[in-house]
Structure 1
Amino acid sequence: MGSRSPVSGRIHAEPTGPAAPRVQRRLSALLSKGPNTTRRDTSGPSPSSAAAARRIDHETAFVSEVALLSRVNHKNLVHFLSFCADGGKRILVYEFMPNGTHHKHLHKRPPPLSPPLASWPARLRLAFGAACGIEYMHTYAVPPVIHRDIKSSNILLDAF
């Protein structure tokens, strides 16, 4: 759960390295196609081996994920800031959440309970914020995003 920051959640940095122009062109092409960008683009070079096909599939999946994340924008979701594609390494950069994960506050801190869990109203605010973020992804995001791994370690807490 993140608070609104001055960052809009759009891509701000450009990839660097030898693969940068290719990733940049593919990302631009996918973003210009609209919301249905998760299908494999067959206009590129045909792979000559299984390894080349896997590399293209991984690159396509990464570009599709970046395109999707750049469109998701809600006050209860951590904002996607940028990405880096350097050589074979791919990194997604998100907004920093200073209070870590909900899991840390539930299991790793000694009593008494920390502020986001100290009272029932605080617990309800946290649960409501998480539910609003999930509702946005499932109902209002285009295309809908199904997270498939919602757990306390994936709920991040901003400053409280």
Structure 2
Amino acid sequence: MIRPILIASILALPLIAGCAQQVKAPTDTGVCYAVERPEGEPVFNVVARGQVQIEMCAARLEEMRLRFRSMGVTQEEVTGAYQGQFIFVDRRGVSFARTLEGARFFALARTGDGRLAVPGAIERGVTDLGVVVEEAPAPTFPGQ
């Protein structure tokens, strides 16, 4: 009798864990937060107010990341929040997500000199007229 109850309770653990309350980002309009993740619940600290776009909040978080790096902090990733979404700034670029552990949407990539840009805006081989040209394919030689 004990064994079926034990098995049923073990099988129910993933269901109970799935119902656990997920951390939600604050929804205050225009407020950019840095998220600290110590053991336990995340802590939301105001970084800037009056931010009109999530990309501006990402820029404030990037400034904070660079300032910390100049002070010798080795942490590569900064997590933030803006109007109900989480922002992840790291050495690859910027990603957005609805939850801390959920799937991330890659939004801003790093250019060759480390700046952030929309991935489609990075152009290579642009002429003086602003026309994108493709490089000629490398010549192929017989026997190679």
TM-score, normalising length from structure 1?
0.27
Q: Which has the higher helix share?
A: 1
Question: Structure 2-normalised TM-score?
Answer: 0.29
Structure with the higher strand share, 1 or 2: 2
Larger Rg: 2
| Greater RCO, 1 or 2 (C-alpha within 8 Å, sep 6+) | 1
